[in-house]
Chain A
Amino acid sequence: MLSASRHKTATHQAGRTSQGRSVLLTKLVVAAVLLGLVLAFPALAPDPFILSVGVVIASYAALAVAWNFVGGLTGYISLGHAAYSGLGGYGTALLVTEAGVNPWVSMVVAAVLVGLAAVPIGIASLRVRGASFVIVSIALVLILLLVAQSWAEVTGGSNGLRVPRPFGTDVLRPEQHERFFYLFVALTLVALVLWWVIDRSRLGTGLKAIREDEDKAQALGVPTFAYKLVVFVVSAFMTAMAGGMYALWFGSLDPIFQFSILTGSYLVLMSLLGGVRSLLGPVVGAVIVGYAVEFFKNQYGDSQMHLVALGVLLALVVLFMPDGVIPWVSAQLGRFRPGDTSIREVDAAQLAEERKALEEAKS
């Protein structure tokens, strides 16, 4: 009797772990297949235009994951991340053209500088919650747009700033696209790994506590302000890296596009659509929204209908799936599965048996 019950729990546990292992294995296989598809994309792309759309989407993915450090972990929604990508872009461009620094070194140096600049900005904007944080994030982009347009001696103003290509002139355009595609994918992977590490750390736990209830988190002794500041600076740094890389790829910067609230709102829409709480949510969102944006721009050309399309999409996501498409889809699928209940599905006899086994094990 006793041995039988022990045997039963043992197989039960073994079953559970092997199930866990198979889930992990499936996840790894799916991830490997997805990564393989992504890496094969340049070879599969029929023409350089499609390839360049792929580069744009990859850059959006890097930016959206960088945004999700703040948006996903703390729940603070910033509409102004274009400020950091724009600063990263201009910093990289100026270091290359004015100081003659190696392009890749300037990209990293510019991102570090943006990270440093994010410290006072974070101190100012993270002291207040919710509404004021969003207002500051918008104000930051608007102020930088004003400065970049007015300070023409340095930024080139509305004429734009040309950035020399990091690869030699013998590397042709499609080849450039291909290399930058891999670079953006690599940057996205680095950001994902960093997000995953933070998500599982003490820092991440504290941040998620802030997201759920900041007052309670503070009462429990989470150093809320320091945690928020750290992740804010990390986010600004990663965003600036992606912005710098974009500047090197695109080769010219215009304040209107670099410091645009629209870009910032794309990032929010991507992360929200994909799901801010999941690791891959922003990437999924970047693929969907990035493709949609390029499609709308192609379809409607110069007319302003692409703004309307973006607005409608954002409103629908906010109203109907604020947790993102991944949780929404799994909830829809969940309808066909047996429902989760909080009731333990064991009868009294089984419980008594387990208790007896425990007591005997003790004695």
Chain B
Amino acid sequence: MSGSLLLQSLILGLLLGGLYALLAAGLTLYFGVMRVVMIAHSAFLILAAYLAWFFTTQTGLDPLLSLIITVPLFFAAGYGMQRALLSRLRPATLTMMSVLLTFAIALIIEGGLGYLFSGTQRRIQLGYSSASLELWGARIAVVKLVAFGLAAVSLLALYLLLKKTRFGQALRATIQHREAAQLLGIDTDRIAGFGFGLGLATAAVGGTALALDATIYPSLHWHWIGPLMAIIVIGGLGSIPGAAVAAMLLGVTQALLQIPMGTTWAQTVFYLALFATLMFRPQGFFGGRLAQRF
């Protein structure tokens, strides 16, 4: 194995890890505000990728511009979904039933995409699709850098939003202790809805980034949901930094394992890490009090 190949895999792993981190942050937000495991997250990811593809084929503009439409749209959809559907479920069985409800939504999205756009594999062709940078012998495609940049900027924006604004404070208070937040005058129902919308907005950004350099098809979301679920459990459910670290580590491991093992077997690293985590440290590596019980 040559050094440049290793370096290339390492960089690709980091770039992929960035996208995983953004999406896992979305999943963590849902879990934080409502203790909900959102199976449909990756289905919305693929939906956003399809919207970006559709936007580009229809208008001929850059798929990044579709973010102007998809991000507000997904934010509204997330808010609506939380207010209209998930908040109707009984609190006692919320975790289990929300899994089933979001699973149903994922099926509806997959089926709808298959019906509208058929099962054909789609790919966006761009002027800079085949452009790449060379760095000490490692070739990195420009689209992957753009995708990573998008993920990194969004993650940073999310971080600043949560840490520096009043809304972020209210959201974190709602996550930490709902009743206490209510006593402080926070409208927790609305905030939970906004948290959900924010989570879904990460899927919109991630989907556009994915559409830049991946071939998409309706059932692709199953390939994403497994790794993402593994990441949030390993990071400790409810911990955004934990999810980000786990995403980076697993992304790099996956990319490095691809060299000797091939793509399919390399994917199993997520599941092996998941089982090992549950065997030896069920609360994950960064999870606090919250993760113990879930």
Interface, chain A (partner B; CB < 8 A): 75-77, 79, 123-125, 127-132, 134-136, 138-140, 142-143, 146-147, 149-150, 261-262, 265, 268, 272, 303-312, 314-315, 318-319, 322
Contact = CB atoms under 8 A, between A and B. Distances in A.
Given A310-B104, A315-B101, 19 more contacts: A77-B100, A79-B99, A127-B282, A128-B282, A131-B237, A131-B294, A132-B237, A132-B282, A135-B230, A139-B229, A139-B275, A149-B264, A150-B264, A304-B110, A304-B115, A304-B218, A306-B111, A315-B108, A318-B97
Most chain A CB inside 10 Å of its own CB: which residue of B85, B103, B294: B103
A278 B271 CA distance: 34
A136 B85 contact: no
Contacts of B274: 135-136, 139
B243 to A, nearest CB: 13
Interface string B87-114: 0111001011101110111111011111
Across the A-B interface, give the 3 residue pairs with the lowest CB-CB distance, nearest first.
Answer: A304-B114, A307-B111, A311-B107
A139 B226 contact: yes
Contacts of B225: 138
A315 B100 CA distance: 8
Contacts of B203: none
Given A146-B265, A311-B104, A303 B89 contact: no
A5 B120 CA distance: 81
Contact of A132 (B103, B112, B233, B271): B233
Nearest to A215: B293
B65 interface: no
Interface in B231-285: 233, 237, 262, 264-265, 267-268, 270-271, 274-275, 278-279, 282
A135 B37 contact: yes
A322 B270 CA distance: 32
B294 A128 contact: yes
Given A132-B294, A139-B271, A77 B99 contact: yes
B222 interface: yes
B90 A322 contact: yes
Contacts of A306: 111
B31 interface: yes
Contacts of A303: 114-115
24 contacts: A77-B96, A77-B100, A79-B103, A123-B279, A124-B278, A127-B282, A128-B282, A129-B294, A132-B233, A132-B237, A136-B275, A139-B270, A139-B274, A142-B271, A150-B264, A303-B114, A304-B111, A308-B115, A311-B106, A314-B103, A319-B85, A322-B89, A322-B90, A322-B97
A318 B97 CA distance: 6
A270 to B, nearest CB: 12
Nearest to A127: B282
Contacts of A130: 95-96, 294
Nearest to B95: A130
B107 A136 contact: no
Interface of B: 31, 35, 37, 39, 85, 88-90, 93, 95-97, 99-101, 103-108, 110-115, 119, 218, 222, 225-226, 229-230, 233, 237, 262, 264-265, 267-268, 270-271, 274-275, 278-279, 282, 293-294
B104 to A, nearest CB: 4
B271 A143 contact: yes
Contacts of A318: 89, 97, 100-101, 104
Contact of B96 (A134, A146, A147, A307): A134
Which of A262, A265, A303, A308 has the largest number of chain B CB atoms within 10 A? A308
A319 B96 contact: no
A313 to B, nearest CB: 8
A314 B177 CA distance: 31
Contacts of A131: 31, 35, 37, 95, 99, 237, 294
Given A127-B278, A265-B103, A142 B222 contact: yes
B108 A135 contact: no
Nearest to A309: B111
A150 to B, nearest CB: 5
Contacts of A140: 271
Q: Which of A76, A128, A272, A303 has the largest count of B CB atoms less than 10 A from its CB?
A: A128
B82 to A, nearest CB: 14
